[in-house]
Copies of this chain bind each other. A is one copy, B any other.
């Protein structure tokens, strides 16, 4: 199992968190997504390493930005 962490910016409430989790959760290979609203920390679990660009695109699809991959 692979765990990658990112910083997501622009989220202001629980609805935003839900949107990000939903979009990232739909990326093929993703098995789990956790997002902390206060810090913007997003933890993505997958069976194998994923292309960061796919995760970034999903976050942007939800309407937010990946500031950096930690």
Contact = CB atoms under 8 A, between A and B. Distances in A.
Size range of the chain A interface in the assembly: under 10
| Most chain B beta-carbon neighbours within 10 Å: one of A15, A16, A19 | A15
Interface string A1-26: 00000000000110110010000000
Contacts of A16: 13, 15
Contacts of A12: 12-13
A51 B12 CA distance: 31
A32 to B, nearest CB: 22
Query: Nearest 8 A-B pairs (CB), nearest first?
Result: A15-B15, A12-B12, A12-B13, A13-B13, A13-B16, A15-B16, A13-B15, A15-B19
